[in-house]
Chain A
Amino acid sequence: MKLRSFKRFNLTIGTVLVGLLVVTALLGLVYTPYDPTDVDLVTRYAAPGIHHWLGTDEFGRDVLSRIMAGAAVSLTVSIGSVLFALSFGTALGTVSGYVGGWLDRLVLVLVDALMAFPGLLLALGIMTVLGPSKWSVVLALGLAYTPSVTRLARGGTLSLRSRDFVVASQAMGNSGVWTLCRHVLPNCVAPLLIFSTSLFGSALLAESALSFLGLGVPPPAPTWGGMLADSRNAIDRAIWLAIFPGMSISLALLGINMLGDAVRDLLDPRMNGGAK
């Protein structure tokens, strides 16, 4: 496969998979074949078939319905946490980079210390404080990803601060806020956007991991990670309970990663690896 067609392949498959994820999640909000929390002990551990396409779990709940409803949970949590990290981190990073001085040093020291925690560990710690709920997961993951966004935004701002157009804006008597929003921020957007696609994948994976550990969005809300955790009890008789939720996470991640790569290649030609 030639490199260019390989990139087109990335873009196409990535778009299709992410599109599928979004459609499933949206559909899951309004329609599922069965009620995802509906217990039916008669049809426990039904294998995939005509009535239950992806089978049923230990409480007779329809796996397909739960996966669809779980998509909505995963998507809202990961989008929410990325948006949180992106807005909070960008504000903190650009302001501290632009203002400089003791504020900048303080932010830098804090960010460095927070980055000394592996992301999942920080999220686990924050979840301990907040207790399990959907919005604590958003907050925990958002806070866990804020330091890296802050650092990226601050770096971008520092390199822009002494550029002519920024200095000109200051010389014209524009306020700091205006200069920051009108001239600095727009030039920081591209790298932040690229970074946020990879954050999105991490957030989705981390949400599933937290739910898997029983420390994410609490039941009865269906989550892919939670479904995987439950599947371990029936690993010897109902392997479909492990296969489908795991496949959903993987396909979602694959789509996000491929699309992310494609977007990065489009926005940043230097990453082409020197292919001429």
Chain B
Amino acid sequence: MLSYMIKRIAMAVPTVLIVTLLVFGMMRAIPGDPASLMLGDVNDPALLAQLRHQFGLDRSVPEQFVLWVTHLAHGDLGMSIVRHQPVAELIRTTFPVTAEIVLSATLLASLIAIPAGLFAAWSQNRRADPAIVLTSILLVSLPSFWVGILLMWLFGVKLQWLPTFGFESFSEVGWGTVRYLVLPVIAVALGEIAVLTRMMRASSLEVLRLEYISHARAKGLSEPRVLLRHALPNAFGPALTVVGLILGHLLAGGAVIETVFTLPGMGRLLVESIYARDYPVVQACLLVIALLYVLVNLVVDLLYPVFDPRMKL
């Protein structure tokens, strides 16, 4: 068990290194350097040279990388060219918004999809199963940004129950923040419910066919008990991996839903910075999201043995 954990953590190290290298390389591949972009139309070679020196752009590329990583390790993500604020500060203020959406949507999706998938598998070859499968195909075909706009129209414009834009964070208004989150969370959760239901159905089908389930039934256990006590824990393992993927998917998809509802999250920051060619911010957002994704997958893999005791052997 311990050796599995150490091995898995060790596997993440080269991934983190290469992800960092890739993000750095991607930003270096953009034509034009940040210093000349920052100056815009100002034609002042002396100032340009000074800025280039300040950013370390006059050094060799490997040196620049080492410098960048050293700064990263100190929590220094550089300065935003457009907003003239430390990038770390920008990330700190926008990240909680994204996190609130991603976590609530994942929780909502799990609460609905896990029972639904288990139930669909249990009722295989009966009416309910094709209905659930069909619903999940329908849901997975609805783009979150479309659902978001329709929800905004219905509940924001027509019924005027919920705000259509803007945001007040949890720290400002407490649970009042829920008003701003309901629609975005539903919009992104629908598709994920579909994906997770299908995965949960598939893994439950595998489990329900096994002998220990027949044995549990032969013992005279009630169906709910067979499902919840015996089938669910073993079927949950593979679904957990999908929960990890969903978290990552939503982190990246945040850009889209935050744009629909003009929420001040990290995805919106990323998109606006791409428009504004604010490369230090783009670089930092890409890196933070990718590293979070690596971390989530690491945690999921480390949790795996908890749900699948066979892994401990």
Show the binding face of A for B, using Cβ within 8 Å.
1-3, 6, 10, 109-110, 112-114, 116-121, 124-129, 205, 208-209, 212-215, 225, 228-229, 231-232, 235-236, 239, 242-243, 245-246, 249-251, 253-254, 257-258, 261, 273-275
| Residue with the greatest number of chain A CB neighbours at <10 A, chosen from B129, B251, B289, B290 | B290
Please give the distance in Å from A254's CB to the nearest CB on chain B. Answer: 4
Could you list 11 examples of A-B contacts with CB < 8 Å?
A3-B125, A117-B19, A124-B274, A125-B23, A129-B29, A235-B153, A236-B157, A242-B146, A242-B153, A253-B141, A258-B137
0/1 string, B8-38, CB within 8 A of A gives 1: 0000001100110011001101100000000
Contact B271 A215 (CB under 8 A): yes
Report how far A129 CA is from B137 CA in the complex, Å.
34
Asked if A118 meets B271 with Cβ closer than 8 Å, knowing A212-B259, A273-B124, A274-B209, the reply is no
Contact A127 B130 (CB under 8 A): no
Report how far A215 CA is from B275 CA in the complex, Å.
8
Query: Which of A118, A239, A254, A275 is in CB contact (< 8 Å) with B141?
Result: A254
Contact A249 B15 (CB under 8 A): no
* Residue numbers in A under 8 Å from B152 (CB-CB): 235
Closest to B261 in A: A232
Contact A113 B271 (CB under 8 A): no
**Total A-B pairs in contact (CB under 8 Å)?**
148
* Residue numbers in A under 8 Å from B15 (CB-CB): 112-113, 116
* Residue numbers in A under 8 Å from B145 (CB-CB): 208-209, 212, 225, 228
Contact B26 A257 (CB under 8 A): no
Contact A213 B271 (CB under 8 A): yes
Contact A119 B293 (CB under 8 A): no
Closest to B205 in A: A273
Query: Which of B22, B140, B143, B252 is in CB contact (< 8 Å) with A257?
Result: B140
Asked if A214 meets B143 with Cβ closer than 8 Å, knowing A117-B290, A118-B293, the reply is no
Contact A120 B252 (CB under 8 A): yes
Report how far A209 CA is from B70 CA in the complex, Å.
35
Query: Which of A109, A118, A212 is in CB contact (< 8 Å) with B251?
Result: A118
Report how far A235 CA is from B297 CA in the complex, Å.
38
Query: Which of B149, B248, B289 is in CB contact (< 8 Å) with A231?
Result: B149
0/1 string, B247-286, CB within 8 A of A gives 1: 0110111011001100000000011001100010010001
B108 sits at the interface (CB 8 A):
no
Report how far A114 CA is from B286 CA in the complex, Å.
12
Asked if A129 meets B26 with Cβ closer than 8 Å, knowing A116-B294, A231-B149, the reply is yes
Interface size on B, residues (CB 8 A): 56
Contact A253 B19 (CB under 8 A): no
Report how far A231 CA is from B290 CA in the complex, Å.
31
Asked if A113 meets B19 with Cβ closer than 8 Å, knowing A118-B251, A128-B26, A129-B29, the reply is yes
Contact B130 A1 (CB under 8 A): yes
Query: Which of B18, B29, B131 is in CB contact (< 8 Å) with A110?
Result: B18
Query: Which of B125, B150, B290, B297 is in CB contact (< 8 Å) with A121?
Result: B290
* Residue numbers in A under 8 Å from B133 (CB-CB): 6
* Residue numbers in B under 8 Å from A243 (CB-CB): 150
* Residue numbers in A under 8 Å from B138 (CB-CB): 254
Contact B274 A128 (CB under 8 A): yes
Report how far A228 CA is from B15 CA in the complex, Å.
37
Contact B255 A120 (CB under 8 A): yes
Contact A6 B294 (CB under 8 A): no
Query: Which of B23, B143, B248 is in CB contact (< 8 Å) with A209?
Result: B143
0/1 string, B297-309, CB within 8 A of A gives 1: 1000000000000
Report how far A213 CA is from B269 CA in the complex, Å.
12
Please give the distance in Å from B133's CB to the nearest CB on chain A. Answer: 8
B7 sits at the interface (CB 8 A):
no
Besides A253-B140, A261-B137, 5 other A-B contacts (C-beta < 8 A): A117-B252, A121-B251, A212-B259, A213-B259, A242-B150
B74 sits at the interface (CB 8 A):
no
B127 sits at the interface (CB 8 A):
yes
Please give the distance in Å from B32's CB to the nearest CB on chain A. Answer: 11
Closest to A213 in B: B271
Please give the distance in Å from B128's CB to the nearest CB on chain A. Answer: 11
| Residue with the greatest number of chain A CB neighbours at <10 A, chosen from B130, B145, B274, B286 | B145
Report how far A275 CA is from B121 CA in the complex, Å.
11
Report how far A232 CA is from B262 CA in the complex, Å.
11
Please give the distance in Å from A206's CB to the nearest CB on chain B. Answer: 10
Asked if A118 meets B252 with Cβ closer than 8 Å, knowing A129-B30, A232-B149, A235-B149, the reply is yes
* Residue numbers in B under 8 Å from A3 (CB-CB): 124-125, 129-130
Contact B289 A121 (CB under 8 A): yes
Closest to A205 in B: B143
Report how far A251 CA is from B137 CA in the complex, Å.
11
Please give the distance in Å from A128's CB to the nearest CB on chain B. Answer: 5
Asked if A114 meets B141 with Cβ closer than 8 Å, knowing A3-B125, A128-B30, A215-B274, the reply is no
Query: Which of A109, A119, A274 is in CB contact (< 8 Å) with B252?
Result: A119
